[in-house]
């Protein structure tokens, strides 16, 4: 069964929510980040970047820096910018984008469910990065950016969400990226009804946020081993699996491993049906890879002999590209550490990717077809991990709309 836990959210007051909530700080260009910090005293970025415009600085990822973050949250609460609900609730969050709408439930995910594999994972985490996040959570004690979860919807859950969203939301604002954000607070009774319905769901799947969830669980295990009863739940946003938007990552490589463009094209032509394209485009189906090199675009449809359709990961184009081209032909041995390869999310304008090859920053670009949610679930259900940079999942969430006190 799946557990979703109501919690007492720490959240912005209504008239300042549009100023407080923010994209993750690393998604902003330096000049934009600087302007936001200079011009908006209410942005959560001031908490995340506590030493902006200060001469004295602590080390990045140090306990001293994390303590300043904690003090920043406390100051925002003292000033009345952030308030905490008196009773535990679940929350409905809707994100309306120019091309689609995402509606889901914000609540607490259970670390015990994670450990028993009722929360499914498809991505390996880096121990060092996980350790930093765990130490951050231990000191700060707050989750401000939810883990994105997918679940198989039910009519009852859909009906509760629909009925609630007919009312005026607690928050409604539009950001400069043309996205409208709305948040509703469920009553205690509605929250309990949703929690009961989730118990009928066998498992939920992490769509985005593997390091955040792993770090939260690691902290819970640390507390549990010490006999401390806290930290069992972490912040999550649950969206129906058929409502998620899953895009691909393109691969750009800086060199052809000593080959001429003609030699390179000759080698990949042996892997399947290679067709020159008059106009560059993305793939139209799985197992087609389009390749842009030397101002020419090609469609490569892989031979069936290269595809193990029975294997959860070896049937994925991201893995096949590595096994057949990146490693043996271009010499890219480790996608996580190589400085010769770059990854571009599928929502990046197509022409922008082509231009990175045209201006000689890269020698070749590979375009993949998006992986369906069914394939992601298949990998997770088999206890395996997706190849690095396989999926770009939307929605991307704002930090600071609802904050969870993991010690509460």
314, pLDDT greater than 80: yes
Measured between alpha carbons, how far is 269 from 292 in angstroms, rounded to an integer? 14
156, pLDDT greater than 90: yes
Q: Dump pLDDT digits (tens) for 225-236.
A: 999 999 999 999
- The whole-number pLDDT of residue 53 equals 80
408, pLDDT greater than 90: no
Would you state the structure tokens that stand for residue 70, as one six-digit string?
């904690």
- The whole-number pLDDT of residue 54 equals 81
Q: How confident is the model at residue 8 (pLDDT cuts 50, 70, 90)?
A: very high
Measured between alpha carbons, how far is 73 from 77 in angstroms, rounded to an integer? 6
- The whole-number pLDDT of residue 26 equals 83
3-state SS class at 301: strand
Measured between alpha carbons, how far is 82 from 76 in angstroms, rounded to an integer? 6
Q: Dump pLDDT digits (tens) for 319-340.
A: 999 999 999 999 999 998 999 9
- The whole-number pLDDT of residue 97 equals 96
Residue 78 CA: distances (Å) to CA of 72, 82, 215, 287, 351: 10, 8, 28, 56, 48
Rama region for 121: left / alpha / beta (φ>0; ψ in -120 to 50; rest) = beta
Q: Which of 43-57, 152-166, 388-402 has the lowest mean pLDDT?
A: 43-57
- The whole-number pLDDT of residue 360 equals 84
- The whole-number pLDDT of residue 308 equals 94
Q: What percent of the chain is predicted at pLDDT more than 90?
A: 91
- The whole-number pLDDT of residue 129 equals 87
Residue 25 CA: distances (Å) to CA of 33, 42, 44, 59, 297: 7, 14, 9, 17, 36
Residue 346 CA: distances (Å) to CA of 179, 190, 370, 406: 18, 37, 8, 34
Q: How confident is the model at residue 128 (pLDDT cuts 50, 70, 90)?
A: confident
Q: Dump pLDDT digits (tens) for 253-310.
A: 999 999 999 999 999 999 999 999 999 999 999 999 999 999 999 999 999 999 999 9
Mean pLDDT, residues 107-128 taken together: 94
Q: Tokens 């999942």 correspond to what residue?
A: 393
Look at strands 142-143 and 180-185 and give their pairing.
unpaired
Tell me the average pLDDT of the chain: 95
210, pLDDT greater than 90: yes
- The whole-number pLDDT of residue 406 equals 94
Instruction: Tell me if 14 sits within 8 A of 170, measured CB to CB.
Output: yes
Question: What is the model's pTM?
Answer: 0.94
Strand partners, 264: none
Look at strands 101-110 and 4-5 and give their pairing.
antiparallel
CA dihedral 201→141→68→211, nearest 10 degrees, is -40
Q: How confident is the model at residue 80 (pLDDT cuts 50, 70, 90)?
A: very high
Mean pLDDT, residues 67-94 taken together: 98
Instruction: Tell me if 123 sits within 8 A of 208, measured CB to CB.
Output: no
- What secondary structure, in 3-state letters, does the chain show? CCCEECECCEEECHHHHHHHCECCHHHCCHHHHHHHHHHCCCCCHHHHCCCCCCCCCCCCCCHHHHHHHHHHHHHHHHCCCEEECCCCECEEEEEECCCCEEEEEEEEEEHHHHHCCCEECCCCCCHHHHHHHHHHHHHHCEECCCEEEEECCCHHHHHHHHHHCCCCCCEEEECCCCCEEEEEECCHHHHHHHHHHHCCCCCEEEEECHHHHHHHHHHHHHHHHCCCCCCCEEEEEEEEHHHCEEECEEEEECCCCCCCHHHHHHHHHHHEEEEEECCCCCCCCCCEEEEEECCEEEEEEECHHHCCCCCCCCCCHHHHHHHHHHCCCCCCCCCCCCCCEEEEECCCCHHHHHHHHHCCCCCEEEECCCCCHHHHHHHHHCCCCCCCCCCEEECCCCECCCEEECCC
């Amino acid at each position: 069964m799946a557990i979703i836990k109501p919690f007492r959210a720490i959240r912005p007051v209504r008239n300042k929510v549009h100023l407080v909530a923010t994209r993750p700080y690393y998604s902003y260009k330096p000049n934009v980040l600087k302007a936001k910090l200079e011009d908006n005293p209410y942005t959560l970025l001031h908490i995340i970047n506590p030493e902006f415009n200060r001469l004295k600085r602590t080390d990045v990822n140090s306990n001293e820096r994390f303590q300043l973050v904690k003090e920043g949250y406390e100051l925002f609460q003292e000033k009345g910018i952030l308030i905490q609900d008196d009773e535990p609730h679940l929350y409905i969050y809707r994100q309306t984008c120019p091309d689609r709408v995402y509606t889901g439930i914000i609540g607490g995910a259970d670390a015990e469910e994670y450990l028993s594999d009722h929360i499914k994972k498809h991505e390996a985490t880096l121990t060092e990065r996980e350790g930093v996040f765990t130490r951050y959570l231990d000191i700060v004690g707050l989750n401000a950016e939810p883990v994105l979860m997918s679940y198989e919807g039910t009519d009852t859950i859909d009906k509760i969400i629909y009925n609630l969203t007919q009312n005026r939301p607690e928050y409604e604002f539009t950001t400069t990226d043309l996205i409208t954000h709305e948040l509703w607070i469920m009553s205690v009774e509605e929250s309990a009804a949703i929690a009961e319905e989730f118990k009928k769901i066998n498992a939920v799947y992490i769509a985005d946020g593997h390091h955040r969830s792993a770090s939260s669980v690691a902290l819970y295990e640390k507390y549990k081993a010490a006999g401390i009863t806290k930290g069992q739940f972490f912040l999550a946003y649950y969206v129906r699996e058929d409502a998620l938007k899953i895009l691909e990552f393109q691969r750009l490589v800086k060199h052809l491993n000593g080959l001429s463009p003609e030699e390179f094209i000759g080698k990949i032509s042996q892997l399947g049906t290679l067709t020159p394209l008059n106009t560059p485009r993305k793939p139209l189906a799985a197992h087609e890879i389009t390749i842009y090199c030397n101002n020419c675009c090609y469609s490569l449809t892989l031979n069936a002999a290269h595809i193990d359709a029975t294997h959860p990961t070896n049937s994925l184009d991201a893995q096949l590209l590595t096994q057949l081209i990146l490693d043996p032909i271009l010499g890219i041995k480790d996608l996580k550490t190589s400085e010769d390869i770059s990854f571009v999310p599928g929502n990046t304008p197509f022409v922008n990717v082509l231009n990175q090859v045209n201006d000689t920053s890269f020698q070749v670009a590979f375009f993949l077809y998006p992986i369906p949610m069914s394939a992601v679930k298949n990998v997770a259900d088999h206890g395996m991990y997706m190849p690095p940079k396989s999926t770009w999942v939307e929605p991307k969430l704002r930090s600071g709309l609802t904050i969870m006190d993991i010690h509460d």
